[in-house]
Amino acid sequence: MSDRTAPLAPPESIVPTRYWHRLEDGRIQCDMCPRFCKLRDHQRGLCFVRARQDDMIVLTTYGRASGFCVDPIEKKPLNHFLSGSSVLSFGTAGCNLACRFCQNWDISKSREYDTLADQASPETIARRAAELGCKSVAFTYNDPVIFHEFAIDVAAACAAIGIKAVAVTAGYVTAEPRAEFYSHMDAANVDLKGFTEEFYRRVCGGHLDPVLETLEYVHNETDVWLEVTTLLIPGLNDTPEEVGRLTTWLIDRLGPDVPLHFSAFHPDYKMLDRPPTPPETLTMARRIALSNGLRHVYTGNVHDPEGQATYCHDCGTEVIERDWYRLGRWGLDESGRCLQCGTRCAGVFDPDGPGTWGARRLPVRLAG
Amino acid sequence: MGRLSPGLDSRFLIEDYEPAYARTWREGGFDAKVETALDELADCKACPRDCGVNRLLDERGVCHTGRWPYVATAFSHFGEEDCLRGWNGSGTIFFSYCNLKCVFCQNWDISTQDAGQELNAEQIAELMLRLQDQGCHNINFVTPEHVAPNLVEAIAVAVPLGLKVPIVYNTSGYDAIASLELMDGLVDIYMPDFKFWEPDTSRRLARAKDYPERTRAAITEMHRQVGVLEFGPDGLARRGVLVRHLVMPGLVDESAAIFRWLHDEVSPDTYVNIMGQYRPEHRVPGSQRYADIDRRPHETEMSAVYQAARDAGLWRFDERRR
């Protein structure tokens, strides 16, 4: 195979990594994610971007992005973190899961470096975020687990100038890199793609337990603000029973304050045989989650002002009105307390009030 | 008289005991309490989780408990402190579910599921009286934090039917002040277990970052109501606060901080049971994440914890005469 001698990536995009070890049979095992790819020289992991070169595992996409975009923070989705602000978002290429329904497969399954045309240093990204008026930078579209070293450097450069770092991730990562990664993050939206091992194994090519561990770790052992997203797919993970177990687990293990977003599937990638999720399914799931005690449950990708607003869990007043990503009435004071009853709404809110970015999506080029 | 046999110390002796609820009943204080209890259930803030669900409509929050408590078991318990179990046992009523989510829960089979059955006020009162009839020296509500309003209703039924033994409120300490105020004048013996001092520890191990703060407030309120532990001439506890401290592996410093606080801010005469029976349970055995508590406390840790308690100036310790 010609690949064996071809360069893995431009030299400036290759950096050494720490999470791997040598096996007795001569292969090297990548320990970044629970997939534990065992690689011979010049082989890439399933994620495509981590590979073996010169007797170690390297990241081959350092400093590369598949595109930058200024989004509303609500689009990540994060509904309780610097609401109304804009976030400079980017991803790279590849992914360490193999979800058959991937809604971003042009990026996650890309094997082409031309999807990584945008090149930028961590300092440039942080500076541009500030210049664009963004409060945060998000690692999204594909999973930052696989570009760990780059994401951490970007987060550190951001922290140096007061920009927050946001991870949008499937949480499929092992314990040691997980701890390092989240020590640099300010907020995360973690996908909980279903609540059966079967679903993770057959549909996503992974396992459920490591994801649950990430959720528990982030919520209970770090100060990272956490929200959770579940994409409901007709016939695969949308029974009331499964939604009930998922939400009971969340309240038992993470408590009532963690926001949960149910989003709607559209047929994509290798899953073209299933219909889009009907809005009623999202509404049903939201009702189950609320009755199981979760306080902040949202419906996504559908028009549903009731399911997208934030309510004071105590007095029931609508404290943040939302229509898609556009904010309406704001009912919290400078310390995030309900103006009606004074109960604090869980989350990280700007004391100066909500941002005014609105629903816009603005692609930007950073490459010089 | 030995320093470690405080039951014989005349300073802590009650000769003429009358249960707190008897006086409250005589003074007609029950109606208001029951009314407040029902109000609390309608917008549940029975514990610090502040779920705000309407339990009168059987809505459920963090503790999964609706209108009525799940009673897992009720029996005459000989595993409690000598001053509670005496010779006939302590009349324990264990409630299912819990407002804490301790990863090491020693009773997870009843704290994490609806063990037993839902009992209403009359049925709980009946249990209390049956235990009293069996000769139990007290009624010992175990894990009552989330069902406090229900217990007011049950006690209100039991008192006119002849309840006369003290009520023991056997709690994690993660109690709402509002619930303790409801218990003021009903409970004689508070038995909180103060386990963690650091918010990050209690968040990681019990899923409640505010546990240390809430427990300090709760014990302060308990002490305000009933003072330090006092005994009858028979050596049985009659009134006061008995603080339990389950020694966690590797957390000697937190134990020491708890003892200093008890001595300095509650009372140097606070009665303390230092408990060494922690064992890895529930989610801990074999887990990588909780490997630090996947063992019993070492002997050296136990002696360091005892020493820390004495160094703090505490001196009334529970010692079991086996």
Contact B101 A314 (CB under 8 A): no
When pLDDT is averaged across residues A18-26 and rounded to a whole number, the result is: 97
pLDDT tens, position by position, B24-51: 999 999 999 999 999 999 999 999 998 8
| Helix (H) or strand (E) run with residue A70 in it | strand A68-72
pLDDT value, residue B6:
47
Between CA A290 and CA A344 the distance in angstroms is: 18
Task: Among A7-16, A252-261, B188-197, name the one with the lowest average pLDDT.
Answer: A7-16
For the question of an ipTM over 0.85, the answer is no
A108 pLDDT exceeds 90? Answer: no
pLDDT band at A1 (very low <50, low <70, confident <90, very high): very low
pLDDT value, residue A367: 64
**Contact yes or no for B305/B274 (Cβ under 8 A):** yes
What are the C-alpha distances in Å from B41 to residues A321, B65, B93, B312? 29, 11, 21, 40
Q: To probe the interface with B, which of A209, A220, A251 has the most B CB atoms within 10 Å?
A: A220
Q: Are B121 and B40 in contact (CB under 8 A)?
A: no
What are the chain A neighbours of B59 within 8 Å (beta carbons)? 291
Which pTM does this prediction carry?
Answer: 0.90
Window 164-223 of B: residues touching A by CB (8 A cutoff) are: 200, 203-204, 207
For an interface test with B, give the residue of A183, A213, A251, A312 to mutate (most B CBs within 10 A).
A251
Report the length, in residues, of chain B: 322
List residues bridging with A68 in a β-sheet: A90, A364
Predicted confidence band of residue A4 (pLDDT cuts 50, 70, 90):
low
The distance in angstroms from the start CA to the end CA of chain B is 19
Alpha-carbon distances, residue A288 vs A119, A195, A246, A295, B188 (angstroms): 44, 15, 10, 11, 41
> Is pLDDT at A235 greater than 70 in this prediction?
yes
User: Mean pLDDT throughout A318-340?
Assistant: 95
> Angle at Cα B40 formed by Cα B166 and Cα B225, nearest 5°?
35
- Would you call A221 and B53 a contact, using CB atoms and an 8 Å cutoff? no
Q: How many CB atoms lie within 10 A of CB B28?
A: 8
Which residues in chain B are closer than 8 Å to A313, comparing Cβ atoms? 52
Please judge whether A221 and B207 are an interchain contact, meaning their C-beta atoms are less than 8 angstroms apart. Answer: no
- Each residue of A15-45: b (16+ CB within 10 Å) or e? eebebbeeeeeeebbbbbbbbebbbeebbbb
Could you give the percent of chain A with pLDDT greater than 90?
A: 82
Phi, psi for A166 (deg, rounded to 5): -125, 130
B99 C-beta neighbours (distance < 10 Å), count = 27
Predicted confidence at residue A67, as pLDDT, reads 86
Residue A154 near residue A139 (C-beta atoms within 8 A): yes
Q: Write the pLDDT tens digit of every residue in A273-283.
A: 999 999 999 99
pLDDT digits (tens, 9 = 90+) for A86-98: 999 999 889 999 9
Q: How confident is the model at residue A119 (pLDDT cuts 50, 70, 90)?
A: confident
SS3 of residue A353 by DSSP: coil
Interface contacts A/B by beta carbons within 8 Å: 37
| Sheet containing strand A28-30, strands side by side | A20-22, A28-30, A38-39
Of A66 and B74, more confident: B74
Q: Does the distance separating the beta carbons of B112 and A293 come in below 8 Å?
A: no
Cβ distance B201 to B251 under 8 Å? yes
pLDDT over 90 at A337, yes or no: yes
d(CA B134, CA B86): 13
How far is residue B299's CA from residue A312's CA, in Å, rounded to a whole number? 49
Which of B62, B200, B288 is facing A293, going by the closest CB pair?
B62
| Residues B225 and B180: beta-carbon distance below 8 Å | yes
Of B261, B186, B167, the residue nearest B219 (C-alpha): B261
Can you give the length of chain A in residues?
Answer: 368
Sheet containing A318-323: which strands, arranged edge to edge? A310-311, A318-323, A326-330
Q: What distance in Å separates the CA atoms of residue B235 and residue B196, rounded to the nearest whole number? A: 30
In chain A the first and final C-alpha atoms are separated, in Å, by: 35
What is the distance in angstroms between the Cα of A341 and the nearest Cα belonging to chain B?
Answer: 13
Measured distance CA(A65)–CA(A30) in Å, rounded: 22
Would you state the structure tokens that stand for residue A161, as one six-digit string?
């100038």
Residues with Cβ < 8 Å from A147, sequence gap 6 or more? A49, A59, A61, A62, A92, A139
Beta strands B237-246 and B230-231, pairing class: antiparallel
Residues B129, A134: Cα–Cα separation, whole Å = 66
Q: How far apart are CA B204 and CA B103, in angstroms?
A: 8
Q: Closest Cα of chain A to B47: distance in Å?
A: 14
CA-wise closest residue to A77 among A256, A257, A215, A263: A263
Q: Which residues of chain B have pLDDT under 70?
A: 1-8, 321-322
In order, the DSSP letters of A280-303 are HHHHHHHHHHHHTT-S-EEE-SS-
CA A139/CA A187 separation, integer angstroms: 11
Kind of pairing between the strands at A164-169 and A136-139: parallel
Is A313 in contact with B60 (Cβ distance < 8 A)? no
Q: For chain A, give the percent of residues with pLDDT over 70.
A: 96
- Whether the CB-CB separation of A175 and A214 falls below 8 Å is answered with no
CA distances from A84 to A361, B114, B177, B201, B295 (A): 13, 42, 37, 34, 48
Determine whether B194 is exposed, middle or buried from the number of CB atoms within 10 Å of its CB (0-12, 13-18, 19+).
buried
Query: In chain A, what residues touch B64 (CB-CB under 8 Å)?
Result: 293
Q: How far apart are CA B6 and CA B13, in angstroms?
A: 9
User: Rounded distance, CA B241 to CA B81, Å?
Assistant: 13
pLDDT score for A109:
76
Shortest CA gap B292–chain A (Å): 14
Mean pLDDT taken over chain A: 93
- Classified as helix, coil or strand, A241 is helix
Give Cβ neighbours of residue A11 (< 8 Å, ≥ 6 apart).
none
- Map chain B to HEC letters: CCCCCHHHCHHHECCCCCCHHHHHHHCCCHHHHHHHHHHHHHCCCCCCCCCCCCHHHCCCCCCCCCCCCEEEEEEEECCCCHHHHCCCCEEEEEECCCCCCCCCCCCHHHHCCCCCEECCHHHHHHHHHHHHHCCCCCEEEECCHHHHHHHHHHHHHHCCCCCCCCEEEEECCCCCHHHHHHHCCCCCEEEEECCCCCHHHHHHHHCCCCHHHHHHHHHHHHHHHHCECEECCCCCEEEEEEEEEECCCCCHHHHHHHHHHHHHHHCCCCEEEEECCCCCCCCCCCCCCCHHHCCCCCHHHHHHHHHHHHHHCCCEECCCCC
